[in-house]
Structure 1
Amino acid sequence: MDVKMEAGWKEALKQEFNKPYFQQVVTFLKTEKLQKKVIYPPGSLIFNAFDQTPFANVKVVILGQDPYHGPGQAHGLCFSVADGVQPPPSLINIYKEIEADIGVGMSPRYGNLTKWAQQGVLLLNAFLTVRANEPASHSKIGWEEFTNAVIKKISDEKKEVVFLLWGKFAQEKQVLIDETKHHVLKAAHPSPFSADKGFFGCKHFSKTNELLIQQGLEPIDWKLP
């Protein structure tokens, strides 16, 4: 199957594209389209995380769950929203932690995290599509098998990647990561329901940069825009 995706990822994941579960994902999405269902993000942005962060460039992985399900929000990067869209509450809390952690002022009106992605931060949702206004509506169609394979591929083929696992769902992915050669930082989810239970004060942004600098890599410039 020919999937439009950054060349390095396409090569790394080529075996996945021919597996039955991936064919099922494609068939499901085609059926949704025929039934006139509105799907987010738009088709051209489903693999945006991979296009913005080539396989060769991955230094950090932030794991999300579901794309935003409101109009114009999702653009293929977890926690991120398209230009001109108000940052959702979880992203505002991420900004608050960045400000407290590294003293960088963040704009509460700007939510596009593409700048992070282009520096090597893979912003990966577990499920890459969602039906409009129906959270987790595509959580059982096969995407999780695909994104688990992505995490495993990074773990197997790269080294010294920093994985940021926020909340119980993301932390369940820890079993896919070889911690003898990668770094795993865990905290509560930045959602308003849990941010004060261990996300605020986690200092993941400074810790990530310390780990990158120790490897002789360029730290992430977290400031936005």
Structure 2
Amino acid sequence: MSAISLPAPWADLPFFQDQWPALEARLSAEQKPWLPGPSRVFAALALPPERVRVVILGQDPYPNAHHAMGLAFSVPPGTHPLPRSLANIFRELHDDLGVARLSGDLTPWVDQGVLLLNTVLTLPEGESFGHKSWGWQELARQVLARVAEKPTAFVLWGKPAQAFAAPLVVGGDHLIVTSAHPSPLSASRGFFGSRPFSQVNHWLTARGSPPIDWAA
């Protein structure tokens, strides 16, 4: 396995001293191909904590090697068709703000301060939640706690994301946007019509911060 470079802006988190050595060794010994691969494990954490304005919390990477890129919900440029959850996200974005996105690569959102964080950062190819018990959640907890030290917008789709973040996103002048998950099983039960993108932008502009250009 290629060496995995730690995300420098977050490397002082206790996780990297306490849990990461054992988890890295476990990844090195993994017999199955795993995603998103060594170079993309910490892709979401390339965004420094001081630049995070919005957090969109996911669960774990896409189990398809053509989709997983280390950013929650995002897929590489040129991916068609889009994963169904992402297609539903784009449908709601269009209904909310009239934005018609064609590319599933959400890197331009990251460049504007949107942290696309999964609570579990790896999985065996083809096996959703396959590394759920490996201890990644502790890193996600520490990242959310760090981000919550300043006012931030948190977009939490689905009960697992909401339950995970609730103990960590306390106090402070945060925006917390909750709804059903955009998956095909639940999108019609409260995700469609929730208008998360306009909510975030209204909150940002009210604070004197530029809105996110969701069309970028």
- Scaled by the length of structure 2, the TM-score of the pair is 0.93
Q: Tell me, what secondary structure is at the counterpart of 1:90? A: helix
Instruction: Report matched runs for 1:75-114 at 5 Å.
Output: 75-86=69-80, 87-107=82-102, 110-114=103-107
Return the offset for 1:3: 6.7
Partner of 1:162: 153
Map Cα deviations across residues 101-149 of structure 1 (whole Å, 9 max, x no partner): 0111222xx2110010110000000100010011100000010111111
Query: Root-mean-square deviation (CA), in Å?
Result: 1.5
1:22, CA displacement in angstroms?
A: 2.4
Q: SS of 1:25's equivalent?
A: helix
Distance 2:166 2:87 in 1: 25
1:220 to 2:212 alignment: yes
Offset of 1:215 from its aligned partner? Answer: 1.2
Secondary structure of 1:134's counterpart equals: coil
**Which of the two has greater helix per residue?**
1
Distance 1:222 1:98 in 2: 8
Detail structure 1 runs of 4+ shifted over 4 Å in the superposition.
Answer: none
Give the alignment of 1:68-147 within 5 angstroms: 68-86=62-80, 87-107=82-102, 110-147=103-140
Unaligned regions of 5+ residues in structure 2, if any?
A: none
- Measure, in 2, the Cα distance between the counterparts of 1:169 and 1:23: 27
Give SS of 1:202's match: coil
Counterpart in 1 of 2:48? 54
In the other structure, the counterpart of 1:41 is: 36
Partners of 2:98 and 2:57 lie apart in 1 by: 24
- Separation in 2 of the partners of 1:204 and 1:5? 31
Corresponding letter in the other structure for 1:221 = D
Change (3 A) 1:186 1:92: same
Question: Following TM superposition, by how much is the alpha carbon of 1:4 offset from its aligned partner in structure 2, in angstroms?
Answer: 2.6
Equivalent in 174, 187, 192 of residue 179 of structure 2: 187
Distance 1:187 1:179, change over 3 A: farther
Structure 1 residues 24 and 7, CA, compared in 2 at 3 Å: closer, same or farther? closer
- Please give the alpha-carbon distance, in whole angstroms, between the structure 2 residues aligned to 1:192 and 1:47: 27
Task: For residue 179 of structure 1, report the CA deviation from its aligned partner.
Answer: 3.8
Q: Give aligned-pair identity as a percent.
A: 42
Note if contact 2:204-2:210 (Cα within 8 Å) is conserved in structure 1. Answer: yes
| In structure 1, C-alpha distance between the alignment counterparts of 2:171 and 2:94, rounded to whole Å | 29
Output one character per residue of 1:11-56: Cα deviation in whole Å (capped at 9) or x when no partner. Answer: 4x2x22111x322211210111xx3x211102111111111x2222
1:8 maps to a residue whose letter is: P
Corresponding residue pairs, total: 212
Aligned position for 1:18: 17
